[in-house]
């Protein structure tokens, strides 16, 4: 006696449909084999999904790696071009990170990078993207955000980082970072957008250094 249709798993029904068969075309033994095949396929798909997610993650901070960040940036830029919606990239460079690594060790540096990644993730919307671009550099993609909104968000992130103490091995560390904002332009490629945000970050870092020197001369 054939199994009733309701007792057949959804994955098996889908497989039957893909093969152009109905349940009545398959014997009980064949149906059992298809159920095992469907279960194996679903398990493989889940493992593949997990592997892809791990491949997208940075090795240290809980954010995207550079490759995945560039992919998401390309996706955002396609939406900007197609729908004419605004979006922006924020480039973030941690100030004095080498000195922290040299003075307190790489474990302290790793703790800072992990903290910054989590702070950025907690401070943006689910539609936004955070990635570590390399070393002590991070990037944020703000989807559907104007240049003014991106600058305001950048300032808020800078203040939040300044006001947060990172405790490692009983020692508090306060980290300052330089931020650069670039409003994504139509027909721009991801690497160019990141480079322009990087240039904006260096301009801010230079201006801050010049301001500090001016004050110290009084």
pLDDT of residue 44: 66
pLDDT of residue 65: 97
Positions annotated as catalytic residues are: 136
**Rounded to whole angstroms, how far apart are CA atoms 31 and 26?**
6
Residues of the chain with pLDDT under 50: 1-6, 51, 215, 217-218
User: Measured in Å, how far apart are the chain's first and last C-alpha atoms?
Assistant: 96
State pLDDT tens for residues 186-206. Answer: 989 999 999 999 999 999 988
* SS3 state of residue 28: helix
pLDDT of residue 208: 79
State pLDDT tens for residues 57-90. Answer: 998 999 999 999 999 999 999 999 999 999 999 9
CATH code: domain 66-216 is 3.30.70.270
pLDDT of residue 218: 44
* Tally of CB atoms within 10 A around 26: 19
């Amino acid at each position: 006696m054939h199994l009733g249709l309701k007792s057949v798993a959804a994955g098996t029904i889908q497989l039957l449909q893909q093969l152009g068969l109905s349940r009545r075309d398959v014997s009980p033994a064949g149906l059992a084999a298809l159920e095992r095949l469907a279960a194996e396929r679903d398990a493989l798909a889940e493992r593949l999904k997990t592997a892809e997610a791990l491949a997208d993650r940075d090795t240290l901070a809980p954010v995207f790696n550079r490759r995945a960040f560039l992919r998401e940036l390309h996706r955002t830029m396609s939406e900007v071009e197609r729908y004419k919606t605004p979006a922006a990239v924020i480039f973030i460079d941690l100030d004095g990170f080498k000195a922290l690594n040299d003075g307190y060790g790489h474990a302290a540096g790793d703790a800072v990078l992990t903290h910054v990644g989590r702070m950025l993730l907690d401070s943006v919307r689910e539609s936004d993207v955070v990635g570590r671009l390399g070393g002590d550099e991070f990037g944020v993609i703000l989807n559907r955000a104007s240049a003014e909104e991106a600058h305001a968000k950048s300032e808020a992130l800078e203040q939040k980082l300044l006001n947060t103490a990172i405790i490692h091995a009983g020692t508090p560390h306060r980290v300052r970072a330089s931020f650069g904002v670039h409003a994504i332009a139509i027909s721009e490629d991801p690497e160019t957008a990141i480079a322009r945000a990087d240039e904006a970050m260096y301009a801010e870092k230079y201006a801050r250094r010049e301001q500090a020197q001016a004050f110290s001369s009084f």
